[in-house]
Amino acid sequence: MKKKLHILFVLSFCFSFAFAQSRVIKGKVTDQKDGLPLPGVTVSVKGAPSAGTQTDLNGLYTLTVPDAAKALVFRYIGYKEADLPITGSTLNASLEYDPKQLTEVVVVGYGTQKRSSITGAISSVSAKDIANTPVTTFEQALQGKTAGVNIQANNGKLGQGISIRVRGVASINGDNQPLVVMDGIVISQDNLSGLTAATDPLADINFNDIESFEVLKDASASAIYGSRASAGVILITTKKGKAGTAKVDLSASYGFSGPSRHRQFLNTTQWLAMEERAAVGAAPFDQASDPADFPTVADALAADKAYVEGKFTQYSAGSTNWTANNTNWEKQAFQTAPQQQYDLNFSGGTDKTTYYFGGQALNQTGILKGNAFQRYSGRVNVDSKISKILEVGANLNFAHVYNERLANDDGFNTPLQIVALSPVTPVIDPRSGLISGTPPGSSSSFPVYYNPLISVGNEYTHTNIYHTIGTMFGNLQIIKNLTWHSDFGIDQTNQNEDSYANSLTYRNTSTKTGSGTNAEAIQVHFTTNHYLTYKSTIGTKSTLDATGGFSYENNHFTNNSVSGQQFPSDAYRTIASAALINAGTSTQSAGVLVSYFGRANYAYDNKYLLSVSARTDGSSNFGANNRYGYFPAGSIGWVLSQENFLKSFQSLSNLKLRVSYGLTGDAGKDYYRPLGLFTGTAGYNGVAGQRYSQIGNPNLKWEKTLQTDIGLDWGFFNNRLSGSLDYYNKSVDGMLLDVNIPETTGIAFQRQNLGKMYNRGFEALITSENFVGKFKWSTSFNVAYNKNKVTYLDGQQIKGLGDLNYVIEGQQIGVFYGREYAGVNPANGDALYYLNTKNSDGTLNKGTTNDFNAAQNTVLGNAQPNITGGITNNFSFKGFDLSFSFYGSFGNKIYNGGGQYMSAEASNGFDNQTIDQLNYWNKPGDITNIPEPRLFYANGTGASSRYLETGNYIRLKQATFGYTFPKALLSKVGIDKLRIYVNGSNLFLITKYKGWDPEVSSDFLSDNITMSNDFYSAPQPRTIVFGLNVGF
């Protein structure tokens, strides 16, 4: 390597000497639009890009050029390149703004690259595309903006987990979230939540500080990140100042949210009738199981009826007038949720130093009672050329997030579980004047369950997150064309969760005198990267750039928590006052990654492009012999539109074929997995103990994904119509898998490298400038099709967290697998299931049975969508602008895990029922899908395809209407820019799904396998905000 560098240096010297004879050219570069000087424009001699300079603050330049030079080239990001002949010693240039050029330079791993020379599959989203989206996190804002990137929030709670899947689910036990790299530093995405569901560390990032996103989707683009790149990479570049006048931008918005959809439940009359009917349905069974007590069915029915009617009185707050109330509990879970956001940014700089200071205050209220999210963040980006050869800079992001969180979807105290309460129950118990169920008074069985409204004000989980990401970097130009880059970054998060539930929540917490937990998680993620970049032109037609270096990452976690009970009174809320410390723990863990990487890009005549990259990663996740993984990738590009045989097609402005092939890896998120371990968390009655906790696997090694991508970039009519088309195939081998081993060993599973899987698919992106005159209309459309299939698991079946999600050979990850519901026996109202036993000829026996156990599990549908896409339309006329974005997702089913309670035709207790249950079987001959109600006889409530529904939907994610005031008017009052807008999100939804929202993955049922489960999950909020942007 060193020798090669040596030769390159010698070569570059030779070029320098060749231009020894010279003269001086001066000039000024201005913006064609307003004639203002353009600082920082690259001016170089045509044919010798290495001989160049940059314009200063006043747009002036001085360049010594060889005698032979005929023309100068002026390049500036965002402007069309100008190529002007040298006519004397002065050469002024006027550059034309070209918005399309903004994406000309693309951020790639450890560097930047010209869009035209990219050979990998990279999607870019610029800040403009997501500005002012009234959501909490940038992931939500990115939804539907790029092909093949499927983003989904768990539910409508604020600040909680969001899944991002680039080109499908990449792994079973590995890391499925793409690697997120912000300004060159890997950002931690580890969930630090110790209480309730996962929180989203990326929610700490103010996306208004972000300039652009690049999603690296294939091996060619991502393999330089080697490990962790199998799930794709998202590169984030934050805003930087530009040389020139200082700019001040102020944004403010105010709005409110509500649930995007409601779900209908039985009213009082309907509920009373159905429960009575359930008693009738239960009586014959009660008689059969206890003939001593109930000699006849009539005896059983009398007892059941008395019991049910006793409950009616009990749930009617003791009143025998059961129809006095008709409470719509579902609406009680929600609130109208105001939100406001303020951003203030300063940016600017000189030709030597640029700066960006950004600050934000965000205050959102959740649509569920008790849910809120606040973020206060600041950013400082400074970049200074302190000498001709040395540039240094620092990026600092600090944020405080305060999140008032709610119990998980499976908690009796989560607001939407309120729908189980009976419509006969009044919100306020007339006997006490308090919310029904509030102690003192009957604590055990009024209302039917704990009333989540009691938790509002009497229980909280306050999460305070202090997240700081700081980076310092330096670029040293060692010799011409060769730059040394070093950076050091620390991504540190302190997350404190303080939860408390007072005595009034007793029925839920089981502690009569209050309980609380305080948990502190600290993550310190240290990263340092060092690499050399070499960029050169060889001869007149070839360019070569090469990057090589190494990086080191250390990730350390510390967790402490303490729980207390027995508080003196409800006035005491911190654990200092708890008489009983019932739990406490303190743990640590750490992982290290050491990496070496290199990449070379070669382009010939802007036509033939070649890129190779390689990375070696050493991970502390593996034992000494399997620590290092090697991840090479290569790609070629052919710009067909530059070929003479296509030059005659005037309308064709760009046609590029890309092919890439390479390997990426995954070390898994879990540390120490090769080791066989004992743990000390096994005490007994206050005496210390230890137990066997993990079975070792010293042979554990990297999971590897072989990726192929074939892509075509195209553009017509000067790129007014452009797009790309990609085919990819990602094959995973040696998957990191928790393989079930016989539990008779005392251990349930072992981490092994087992299994093969692929994701194959197509992605298409089309952008079109439909109108470009005064009335502008542009459309951007993306669609992706992904086929995921597990091809080998050694016959294993892995069950997810939910009732029906599995991993099975020959199927998608997370496929729904279980009993197939066959409807209702018209003769007797029994729920029926298809037997699905194998016939001797291999076909499935589609006979039916009322015995759930006699029916065999079968594949019931996919949990992952296979087609996702988005379409965004932008219109502008004079100062008005209008845009709307649709997002669509197709191909998956959704399992309603709450169905066995809320859609159980009153066969599973007194839970209120969804309105569709009214169509229950009532008498012989009835043809319906809803079985006979049989109180506590669980008729058809087992986990089956009965509770599966299609999850297809199309949703209007965003719509914005804005007006920008004319400059002429504003300049009089010293304002540079003023825009007012109104934005609506989740305004409407097209779906057949009967639940609240098909965009769902219940927070306690979400992992790599468990997807598309609904369980009293809140819908996405429908939000309307009004805002303004002012620039000075």
Q: How far is the CB of 668 from another protein (least distance, A)?
A: 14
* 986: three-class secondary structure by DSSP: coil
CB closer to another protein out of 683 and 966: 683
- Residue from 554, 606, 778, 950 touching another protein (CB under 8 A): that is 554
Q: How far is the CB of 110 from another protein (least distance, A)?
A: 15
- DSSP secondary structure letter of residue 743: G
Smallest gap from residue 796 Cβ to another protein (A): 7
We find the least distance from the C-beta atom of residue 381 to another protein, in angstroms, to be 27
Which amino acid makes up residue 1023?
Answer: T
Kindly give, in sequence order, each residue whose CB lies less than 8 Å from that of residue 153, ignoring residues fewer than 6 positions away: 140, 160, 161, 162, 999, 1001, 1020
**For another protein, which is the closer residue by CB, 80 or 627?**
627
Site for another protein in 684-713 (CB under 8 A): 684-696
- The residue among 765 and 808 lying less far from another protein, judged by its C-beta, is 808
Q: Which stretch binds another protein (CB under 8 A): 210-218, 424-432, 590-598, 978-986?
A: 590-598
Residue with smaller CB distance to another protein, 696 or 847: 696
Q: Is 812 exposed, middle or buried (0-12, 13-18, 19+ CB in 10 A)?
A: buried
Task: Supply the angle between the helices 297-315 and 268-289 in degrees, to the nearest 10.
Answer: 140
Q: Using CB under 8 A, pick the residue from 160, 163, 238, 314 that binds another protein.
A: 314
Q: Choose which of 18, 306, 677, 990 interacts with another protein (CB under 8 A).
A: 677
Q: How distant is the alpha carbon of residue 862 from its chain centre?
A: 20
CB of 307 to another protein, least distance (A): 8
What is the DSSP annotation of 911-973? ---BGGGGGB--STT---SB----TTS-TT-SSBGGGEEE--EEEEEEEEEEEE--HHHHHTT
Q: Does residue 288 touch another protein according to CB under 8 A?
A: yes
Among 11, 386, 583, 918, interactor with another protein by CB under 8 A: 583
Q: How far is the CB of 444 from another protein (least distance, A)?
A: 3
Which of 5, 86, 344, 657 touches another protein by CB under 8 A?
Answer: 5
CB of 640 to another protein, least distance (A): 40
Chain residues 412-471 in contact with another protein, contact rule CB under 8 A? 442-446
Cβ at position 578, least distance to another protein in Å: 11
Closest C-alpha among 489, 495, 493, 485 to residue 470: 489
Measured CA to CA, the distance from residue 650 to residue 889 in angstroms comes to 37
Q: Which residues from 926-965 bind another protein, rule CB under 8 A?
A: 936-938, 941-943
Task: Tell me the β-bridge partners of 561.
Answer: 519, 585
For residue 71, the minimal CB distance to another protein (Å) is 31
Q: Which is nearer to another protein, 530 or 535 (CB)?
A: 530
Least distance in angstroms from the C-beta of 698 to another protein: 9
Contacts with another protein in 788-807 (CB under 8 A)?
795-797, 799
Shortest distance, CB of residue 510 to another protein, whole angstroms? 4
DSSP track, 801-837: SSSSEEEETTS-TTEEEEBPEEEE-TTT--EEEE--E
DSSP 741: -
568 binds another protein (CB under 8 A): no
- For the bound state, the minimum distance from the C-beta of residue 571 to another protein, rounded and expressed in Å, comes to 21
CB of 984 to another protein, least distance (A): 39
**Among 81-89, 584-592, 949-957, 1021-1029, the segment contacting another protein (CB under 8 A):** 584-592
Nearest to another protein of 625, 971 (CB atom):
625
| First and final C-alpha spacing in the chain | 51
CA distance 357 to 594: 33
Touching another protein, residues 483-522 (CB under 8 A) = 484, 507, 510-512
Instruction: Count CA atoms closer than 13 A to 225's CA, side-chain side.
Output: 27
Angle (nearest 5°) at CA 156 between 155 and 162: 50
Residues between 906 and 925 that touch another protein (CB under 8 A): 908-909, 911
Residue in 392, 396, 472, 594 binding another protein, rule: CB under 8 A: 594
When asked if residue 1001 is in the footprint of another protein (CB under 8 A), the reply is: no
Instruction: Give whichever of 36 and 590 is closer to another protein, judged by the CB atom.
Output: 590
Beta strands in 192-280 (DSSP E): 210-216, 233-238, 244-259
**Least gap, CB of 676 to another protein (angstroms):** 4
CA distances for 471 relative to 355, 400, 702, angstroms: 15, 18, 29
Q: How many helices (H) and strands (E) does the chain have?
A: 11, 57
CB 101 within 8 A of CB 75: no
Tell me: does residue 971 bind another protein (CB under 8 A): no
What residues from 656 to 675 belong to the interface with another protein (CB under 8 A)?
671-672, 675
By CB under 8 A, how many residues form the interface with another protein?
Answer: 97
Binding mask 748-787 for another protein (x = CB under 8 A): x-x-------------------------------------
How far apart are the C-alpha atoms of 795 and 755, rounded to whole Å? 10
Out of 571, 743, 773, 923, name the contact with another protein by CB under 8 A: 743
Q: Per CB under 8 A, which region of 70-78, 391-399, 581-589, 655-663 contacts another protein? A: 581-589
Smallest gap from Cβ 753 to another protein, in A, equals 14
- Contacts (CB under 8 A) with another protein, residues 855-874: 856-857
Q: Is 271 in the site for another protein (CB under 8 A)?
A: no
Q: Whole-angstrom Cα distance, residue 407 to residue 1025?
A: 27
Residue of 333, 513, 341, 301 whose CA lies nearest to 412:
333
Distance CA(51)–CA(556), nearest Å, equals 47
Give the interface segment with another protein, choosing from 53-61, 150-158, 612-620, 638-646 (CB under 8 A): 612-620
CB within 8 Å of 206: residues ≥ 6 apart? 343, 358, 360, 362, 375, 377, 379, 397, 399
Looking at the Cβ atoms of 501 and 655, the one nearer to another protein is: 501
CA distance 776 to 527: 45
The three state secondary structure string of 851-867 is CCCCCCCEEEECCCCCE
Q: How far is the CB of 181 from another protein (least distance, A)?
A: 19
Which amino acid would we find at residue 870? G
Q: Is 16 in the site for another protein (CB under 8 A)?
A: no
List binders of another protein among 522-541 (CB under 8 A).
530
- Could you say which of 479, 646, 827, 918 contacts another protein (CB under 8 A)? 479
Q: Which of residues 168-227 bind another protein (CB under 8 A)?
A: none
Rounded Cα–Cα distance for residues 470 and 487 (Å): 10
Cα–Cα distances (Å) from 995 to 413, 757, 1014, 1018, in that order, read 20, 32, 8, 10
Separation between Cα atoms, residue 341 and residue 345, nearest integer Å: 13
Query: Which residue number, 23 or 846, has a Cβ lying nearer to another protein?
Result: 846
Query: Is the separation of the CB atoms in 589 and 638 below 8 Å?
Result: no
Q: Of the candidates 36, 68, 390, 590, which one interacts with another protein according to CB under 8 A?
A: 590
Task: Figure out which of the listed residues 242, 352, 627, 787 binds another protein, where binding follows CB under 8 A.
Answer: 627
| Least Cβ distance, residue 942 to another protein (angstroms) | 7
Greatest CA separation for the chain: 117
Name the residue nearer to another protein (CB basis): 175 or 209.
175
Least distance in Å: CB of 441 to another protein? 8
Stretch that binds another protein, among 48-56, 258-266, 287-295, 643-651 (CB under 8 A): 287-295
